[in-house]
Structures are given as structure tokens and as C-alpha cells.
């Protein structure tokens, strides 16, 4: 839509799609402003924030992989990353890290190694919150669909 602001060259499907998306956004916003849905709106917002953090964490860790670690990492998804929640520990604000309970020890050790490499990079340290401490394990459920071949190495037996 931004490519043709006068709408002369816009494809009609693009206009319809943009209108539908905007309408859905306005409806969702209106629904979540209702008093009885305030807690649901906060839950959705918190979940989206957590998912976004886990996605950035996966991408950052992937950037410091060594050649011999690629095999274990290749099927890792954001569902295997720790939840990072805002918190205060010892009077310092930062993130409380809550690893998923279903993540294998082998993958947990790789994540710790990759995280220490990231934190050794001054630019990364300067642009990311401090990871203060490991909290209790996350209560999120394991993904329903996952690579069968990687599941043996990525998940613990619960």
C-alpha cells in the first residue's frame, strides 16, 4: 500500500487484505479494552513479549555457533529457549531466566555455552538486559509438533 499511496496502481486484493487486517486490529483492540477481558489482554500481551524475546535469543545464539555445534542446534526452535522475565535480584534489575523443564541437559549446556560467548561480546552486553539468575523452570508445555529426529537429543523424558 505504501508503494502506491494514491491507490491508482494498487492491486484490489492488497486493498481488501489491508482493510481486513485493519478491521481485525480495531476489533481486537476494542475487545481487549473491555473490563471483563483486561486479564486476557494482559496474558496475550505478555505471551507475545515472551515469544519475541525467545525468538531474539534463538537468533543471537545461532550467530555464535561453532561448526561442531550445528548438528545439535539445527532443529532448535524458540520453544526450547528460556523465558526471560523482567525482575530484580539483589537490587539490580534485569531478566530472571526460566529454562523449559523439558529441555535436555545436552541442549541446556550448549545454550549456556552460547550465552557465555554472547555475553563476551561488548556490543551484545551493551544492548541487552543482564541475565540475573536462573529462576524456577518454566511451566510452558513442550511443542506439540517437532522434528522426530531432533526430539531425542532436545527433550528430556518427563
Within a domain: residue 101? yes
- Domain assignment present for residue 118? The answer is yes
Asked whether residue 11 carries a pLDDT value surpassing 60, the answer given is yes
26 found inside a domain = no
Does residue 131 contact residue 94 with C-beta atoms inside 8 Å? Answer: yes
Count of structural domains, the chain = 1
- Which pLDDT score, from 0 to 100, does residue 4 have? 58
Residue 4 counted as domain residue:
no
- Tell me the per-residue pLDDT of 133-142, one tens digit each, with 9 for 90 and over: 777 788 788 7
For position 8, what pLDDT does the model report?
67
Is residue 140, in this structure, part of any structural domain at all?
A: yes
Q: What angle do CA 56, 62, 63 make, to 5 degrees?
A: 95
Residue 54 lies inside a defined structural domain of this protein: yes
Q: What is the largest CA-CA distance in the chain?
A: 60
Return the higher-pLDDT residue of 133 and 17: 17
Tell me whether residue 23 is in a domain.
no
What is the residue range of 92's domain? 49-154
Nearest to 30 by CA among 39, 20, 19, 41: 41
**Is 123 contained in some domain?**
yes
Segment among 11-25, 31-45, 67-81, 114-128 with least mean pLDDT: 31-45
Give 92-125 pLDDT, tens digit per residue.
888 888 888 888 889 889 998 999 999 899 988 8
Please report which confidence band the pLDDT of residue 3 belongs to, taking 50, 70 and 90 as the band edges.
Answer: low
Phi, psi of 129 (to 5 degrees): -65, 155
Q: Which segments of the chain does DSSP mark as H helices, in order?
A: 12-32, 38-62, 70-73, 105-119, 122-127, 148-154
Residue 60's pLDDT is 92
Amino acid at each position: 500500500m505504501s508503494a502506491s499511496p494514491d491507490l491508482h496502481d494498487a492491486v484490489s486484493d492488497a486493498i481488501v487484505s489491508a482493510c481486513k487486517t485493519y478491521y481485525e486490529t480495531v476489533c481486537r483492540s476494542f475487545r481487549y479494552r473491555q473490563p471483563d477481558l483486561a486479564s486476557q489482554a494482559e496474558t496475550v500481551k505478555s505471551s507475545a513479549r515472551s515469544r519475541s524475546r525467545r525468538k531474539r535469543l534463538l537468533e543471537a545464539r545461532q550467530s555464535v555457533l561453532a561448526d561442531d555445534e550445528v548438528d545439535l542446534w539445527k532443529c532448535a526452535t524458540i520453544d526450547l529457549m528460556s523465558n526471560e522475565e523482567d525482575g530484580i535480584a539483589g537490587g539490580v534489575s534485569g531478566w530472571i531466566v526460566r529454562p523449559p523443564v523439558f529441555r535436555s541437559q545436552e541442549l541446556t549446556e550448549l545454550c549456556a555455552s552460547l550465552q557465555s560467548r554472547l555475553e563476551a561480546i561488548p556490543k551484545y552486553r551493551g544492548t541487552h538486559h543482564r541475565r540475573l539468575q536462573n529462576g524456577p523452570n518454566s511451566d510452558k508445555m513442550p511443542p506439540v509438533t517437532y522434528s522426530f529426529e531432533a526430539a531425542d537429543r532436545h527433550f528430556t523424558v518427563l
